[in-house]
Structure 1
Amino acid sequence: MKTTLPLAKHLPNVSRLAFGCMGLGGSWDNAPVDAEHLRQANEAVDAALEIGINFFDHADIYTRGKAEQVFGQILEQRPTLREAIYLQSKCAIRFADAHNPQRYDFSKHWILQSVDNSLKRLNTEYLDVLLLHRPDPLADPEEVAEAFEQLHSSGKVRHFGVSNMHIHQLQWLQHHLDMPLVANQIEISLLRHDWLDQGVLAGTPQSQHVGFVPGTIEHCQQHGIQLQSWGSLCQGLLSGRDVQDQPDTVKQTAAKVTVLAEHYDVSREAIVLAFLTRHPAGIQPVIGTTHTSRILACGDLEKVTLSREHWYELYLAARGRALP
């Protein structure tokens, strides 16, 4: 079963996987980018390209701007690369400083300033996709619409989306926009399975313990909004990381992943990702590892489509309890 990515309507031939660049650029402080950071970034990008990834996901805050900066250095060294890939970045999270608290900022001024800074760091004239990183309770949707229109008309951003939003926030924002929201990046994975539980447990007393807002997945499917999954590799817990101190559900799921990896003759990373891509929503997993061996292991995804029975075996292991 191969599901077409909704994003392909806007970005032709976009890759099934996205490479998340949060780990590039070194530490989350003001230490400068150095030659070792550039070497690591080049190796990670090359590994991603080798397995067919052409979609690279950034945010203005990743390693406090250094992830974009080091990627911009790569583009400067390899000028033909820019037109061969798609670049996505995010804005709206602002860190606490000496005078201000941590906050989210959907103001027109901050969105425009953030994009200009990202373009400068990335050494590019445009973003293929801009996402609003986390919902701002003080957002004025008409102001957001003005910022988006200015960025689009100037050629600085081609498409827009959001991150970490549920169905009602998506509908609220889209109502004020003249352009479609093309993506919603949220934390969904085999271990973080509330996104599945909210549907499976509908109408049962257990549903009150599910934190995922019902209808979000279906809304994105209905309106062609690309679901992107961050945390999709479960921080390595199912593909080799020591799970001795983890809950039994994690241990059982890791064991099941290993068995299925042997059955399909693929990497454990591929099984973890295949759980997401088997879903008919056309989920685009974002892989955040910078280890080249793990990046390359993700390439095995193209070799496997989980059977319905194997998909449910994984889901049940992760749930740690029977279905209702």
Structure 2
Amino acid sequence: MKEMPLEKRKITSSRLILGCSGFTNHFNKNAYTKEELLKAEKAVDAALATGITMFDCSDSYCMGKAEMMFGEILSSNSNLRENIIIQSKCGSYYTAEKNIKYYDLSKKYILNSVDEILKRLNTEYLDILIIPGADPLMEVEEISETFDKLIDLGKVKHFGVSNMNTEQIKYLNSYCKESIIVNQNTGMNINFSDGIIEYCNLKDIQIQAYLSLENGIYDGNIVENISEVDFQAKRLLEKVAKEKETTLEVIVLGWLMKHPAMIQPVLRTINTDVIQNCRAAIKQAKEMNKEEWYELYNVFIAKRNF
């Protein structure tokens, strides 16, 4: 059978990733509750039972609280860390007061961020560190030095990026000793026609689809005030899911995983039923024919260009 790029590198065989950003929705300095922690633990247990052994974190998820919660889960299970893959991200900022999104990929910031991430996660290393690709002020020489330092210290094993195009990855890789192994894109915004997928395949770079279920729109929840294009996409998914006697999330994930690039979706949910349902997505990917795939493709492309 065809292998994912990460599987080729002997890193993981987990076709899905559980994203930890949904552990709590409190973007403030208030402490998370025991009830929230229990729900997160159940989500992790459901993921492991479903065969998901890879987890996506970030220093920005819920102001660091998602990593703290995952760290508590790790601490309560001494055998868990060695049997899972953890990736985290740093470098993105948002200031609500000025409504400005900006980036900091300086050596000092990344090194400090990784230390704080490891502390919150209660682990000595990250399997993968991901940095954003949208920073126009990116200094690749400095990033390369930072990556080398983190490898030497044993704090990070591998590196990835988010939303980088082909030339940006080439540029970064030309300076870094450790090749980029992940390119994470946002859900249905993956571009199938600009060459990035082909380049990633050529270089064994894992493409990950973050927010694959579009923040709950495609996992069967009732979401108010969605756009017309989202409404049309959801109607089609409901029709297909009914015909195949399965759920919306299974169809969406199956559609993504059908692509020969072996796209690896990231689930942002703590709904244990949804997580368990996703096991069927691999089977759905195998069974989906080209006509069915393109019917969904046309809707999702319309969504991306909306």
The question of a shared fold, defined as TM-score above 0.5 by the shorter chain, is answered with yes
Structure 1 residues 245 and 41: CA distance shift in structure 2, 3 A: closer
Gaps of 5+ in 2: none
Which moves more between the two structures, 306-315 or 5-14?
Answer: 5-14
Q: Is the 8 A contact 1:266 1:303 kept in 2?
A: no
Gaps of 5+ in 1: 200-213
1 CA distance for matches of 2:233 and 2:136? 37
Residue 277 of structure 2 corresponds to residue 277 of structure 1: no
Structure 1 match to 2:141: 142
Amino acid at match of 1:307: N
Instruction: Report the 3-state secondary structure (helix = DSSP H, G, I; strand = E; otherwise coil) of the residue aligned with 2:200.
Output: helix
2 CA distance for matches of 1:155 and 1:244? 46
Q: How does 1:61-140 map to 2 (within 5 A)?
A: 61-96=60-95, 102-140=101-139
Residue 289 of structure 2 corresponds to residue 310 of structure 1: no
Q: Is the 8 A contact 2:24 2:36 kept in 1?
A: yes
TM-score where L is the length of structure 1: 0.86
Q: CA deviation at 1:102?
A: 4.7
Structure 2 match to 1:225: 205
TM-score where L is the length of structure 2: 0.90
2 CA distance for matches of 1:229 and 1:267? 19
Q: CA deviation at 1:26?
A: 4.4
Q: Decide which of 239, 258, 273 is 1:259's aligned counterpart.
A: 239
Amino acid at match of 2:22: G
Structure 1 residues 243 and 70: CA distance shift in structure 2, 3 A: closer
Structure 2 match to 1:206: none
Structure 2 match to 1:20: 19
Structure 1 residues 139 and 116: CA distance shift in structure 2, 3 A: same
Structure 1 residues 36 and 179: CA distance shift in structure 2, 3 A: same
Identity over the aligned pairs, expressed in percent? 40
Q: CA deviation at 1:7?
A: 1.0
Q: Is the 8 A contact 1:93 1:104 kept in 2?
A: yes
Which moves more between the two structures, 133-142 or 74-83?
Answer: 133-142
Look at both structures and tell me which one has the larger radius of gyration over its CA atoms: 1
Q: Is the 8 A contact 1:238 1:250 kept in 2?
A: no
Instruction: Report the 3-state secondary structure (helix = DSSP H, G, I; strand = E; otherwise coil) of the residue aligned with 2:22.
Output: coil
Which moves more between the two structures, 175-184 or 4-13?
Answer: 4-13
Cα deviation digits, residues 102-141 of structure 1 (max 9, x gap): 5311111111111010000000000000000343222211
- Number of equivalences: 301
Cα deviation digits, residues 288-312 of structure 1 (max 9, x gap): 0122221222121132121111101
Amino acid at match of 1:250: D
1 CA distance for matches of 2:97 and 2:212? 35
Amino acid at match of 2:136: P
1 CA distance for matches of 2:29 and 2:228? 40
Q: Is the 8 A contact 2:12 2:54 kept in 1?
A: no
Structure 1 residues 42 and 252: CA distance shift in structure 2, 3 A: same
Q: Is the 8 A contact 2:187 2:214 kept in 1?
A: no
Instruction: Report the 3-state secondary structure (helix = DSSP H, G, I; strand = E; otherwise coil) of the residue aligned with 1:56.
Output: strand
1 CA distance for matches of 2:50 and 2:216? 19
Structure 2 match to 1:250: 230
Structure 1 match to 2:167: 168
Amino acid at match of 2:277: A
Q: Is the 8 A contact 1:257 1:268 kept in 2?
A: yes
Cα deviation digits, residues 178-235 of structure 1 (max 9, x gap): 111000101132xx46x13xx2xxxxxxxxxxxxxx2222211111110000121123
Q: Is the 8 A contact 2:56 2:86 kept in 1?
A: yes
Q: Decide which of 252, 269, 284 is 1:289's aligned counterpart.
A: 269
Instruction: Report the 3-state secondary structure (helix = DSSP H, G, I; strand = E; otherwise coil) of the residue aligned with 1:22.
Output: helix
2 CA distance for matches of 1:246 and 1:34? 30
1 CA distance for matches of 2:29 and 2:67? 14
2 CA distance for matches of 1:248 and 1:38? 36
Instruction: Report the 3-state secondary structure (helix = DSSP H, G, I; strand = E; otherwise coil) of the residue aligned with 1:88.
Output: strand
Structure 1 match to 2:32: 33
Structure 2 match to 1:180: 179
Q: State the superposition RMSD in angstroms.
A: 2.4
